[in-house]
Amino acid sequence: MEDNLSNIQRQVLIIVDKWVREEKTPVPRPYIINKMVDNKIKDFTTIYTLNALIKKGYIRRSCVSSNKTQYVQLRTIRYDK
């Protein structure tokens, strides 16, 4: 099932997975965007990637009381930690 993921989608999922394992909270969208910008991926590309991962069922949007967008991991992928 993971074969249908692009390299950028895989990178985003690894960022989400590491956050979830360490922080045990939904991942803030700015955190994901900043990490991807550090990897030389533009912010609009990251947002497009997040939307694709939502459609594929790997993550979902979550809003907290501050009304800021965060993401919750629904499915994991295998990767070297």
Return phi, psi of residue 42, to 5°.
Answer: -70, 155
Of residues 37 and 24, more confidence is placed in: 37
Express each pLDDT in 3-17 by its tens digit.
689 999 999 999 999
Q: Could you give the domains of the chain?
A: 2-73 (1.10.10.10)
The CA-atom distances, in angstroms, between 69 and each of 3, 9, 23, 28, 33 are 28, 18, 16, 6, 12
In the chain, where do the E strands start and end?
Answer: 27-28, 59-63, 69-73
Q: What percent of the chain has pLDDT over 90?
A: 63
In this model, does residue 1 exceed pLDDT 60? Answer: no
